[in-house]
Structure 1
C-alpha cells in the first residue's frame, strides 16, 4: 500500500497492489508528491509542483 494525491485538490488516496502485484491507481491524475503544509485552498498540482494560496492571500479572498 502507498499514498498518492489527486492533482485537482490534493486529496490523499490509498493504492493497493492487485493479484499481479501491480498498484491499482486512481483514474484521475495523481502524484506521489504530498501537498506542502501551510498551503490553502484552492490549490492544485501543475505537473511539477503544488500551486496554491498562502494563509494571508486565502484570508483576503474571504
Structure 2
C-alpha cells in the first residue's frame, strides 16, 4: 500500500525531520483519498518510526560520527 509512496515519504521526512506521522497521512490523503483514511494512522506511525530509525543509523554509522 505504501511502497509506491515510500520515496516521497522519505523525502518529506528528510526535508522536515519533525514532520509527524499524522501530517504524512494528511499529505497522502490529499494525493489519494480513496486509498488513505484516518484509520491508517497507526500503520503510518510505525512506518515513520522505522524510517527514522534507518535514517538515524545512516547518520551515526555513515556520517563519520563514529570515526571522530
TM-score using structure 1 length? 0.26
Q: Which one has a larger percent strand, Structure 1 or Structure 2?
A: 1
Q: Which one has a larger percent helix, Structure 1 or Structure 2?
A: 2
TM-score using structure 2 length? 0.25
